[in-house]
Amino acid sequence: MPALNSQRGVPSAAVVACYNAVPSVLWSGLALGPLAVCCYHYVVQPWLWGFLAVSLSAYAWPAAWLRRLQLAPRAQVYRRLGVPGLGYFTQQGALVNRLLRRRYPNYRGLVGRRAVARLLSTTYQQERFHWAGLLFFLGVSIYVGAAGQLGWALGLTVLNVGYNLYPIWLQQYLRIRLGH
């Protein structure tokens, strides 16, 4: 039986982390599996190191840069693109929260200003992760496309949009909804 805070009937942080890990592992496996196969078969190692170095630079980008890279200043643009729908199926998303509340009715994902501040900080961290992924996928897609593997290039581009571009937009949308 999962650990439970007996005073308030809410799940422990470990239980919440496990629930949130499921969509992360699922989406990462679906996107990174084909990427790994493609890299193994078609990309020479020096290029892989180069793509990795360029993509990891996104982790050093300050929040001000991320704000400048924001798609739009208003949530309406993101809604038109279907970004909130993606949020349903992600970690800390509506589905995970619904499942947690079903089992732990007193669970609330955000309680207080500190939790909102943590979420705001997390959006920047997750956006950097997806920018790094977007750059890596883009480099590999261009490389394999130039090498004549157009099917792989197209497939990786589609995966890049779903695994990186939309999640970047989701983090931006969340910050708009938080009022920042």
Write the DSSP assignment of 21-73 as a string of letters: HHHHHHHHHHHHHHHHHHHHHH--HHHHHHHHHHHHGGGG--HHHHHHT-S-S
Q: Average pLDDT for residues 14-33, to the nearest whole number?
A: 94
Quick one: DSSP state of residue 11?
A: E
Q: Which of 52, 28, 20, 37 lies closest to 119 in space, CA to CA?
A: 20
Which comes out higher in pLDDT, residue 70 or 1?
Answer: 70
Q: Average pLDDT for residues 127-142, to the nearest whole number?
A: 98
Beta carbons of 160 and 138 less than 8 angstroms apart: yes
Both tokens of 87, joined, read 């949020």
Percent of the chain past pLDDT 90, that is, above it, reads 78
pLDDT of res. 7: 46
- Taking the C-alpha atoms of residue 117 and residue 179, their distance in angstroms, rounded to an integer, is 11
- Checking if the pLDDT of 133 tops 80, the result is yes
Question: Coil, helix or strand for 5?
Answer: strand
Beta carbons of 12 and 5 less than 8 angstroms apart: yes
Q: Average pLDDT for residues 131-156, to the nearest whole number?
A: 98
Beta carbons of 12 and 4 less than 8 angstroms apart: yes
Q: Which residues of 9-38 are buried (b: 16+ CB within 10 A; e: fewer)?
A: ebbeeebbeebbeebeeebeeebbeebeeb
Question: Coil, helix or strand for 4?
Answer: strand
Band (pLDDT 50/70/90 cuts) for residue 114 is confident
pLDDT of res. 78: 97
pLDDT of res. 6: 44
- Taking the C-alpha atoms of residue 101 and residue 128, their distance in angstroms, rounded to an integer, is 29
- Taking the C-alpha atoms of residue 34 and residue 88, their distance in angstroms, rounded to an integer, is 24
| pLDDT tens column, 37-81 | 999 999 999 999 999 999 999 999 999 999 999 999 999 999 999
This prediction's pTM: 0.90
Beta carbons of 152 and 42 less than 8 angstroms apart: yes
Beta carbons of 97 and 20 less than 8 angstroms apart: no
Band (pLDDT 50/70/90 cuts) for residue 112 is confident
- Checking if the pLDDT of 152 tops 70, the result is yes
| pLDDT tens column, 27-49 | 999 999 999 999 999 999 999 99
Question: Coil, helix or strand for 10?
Answer: strand
Band (pLDDT 50/70/90 cuts) for residue 180 is low
Percent of the chain past pLDDT 70, that is, above it, reads 95
Question: Coil, helix or strand for 94?
Answer: helix
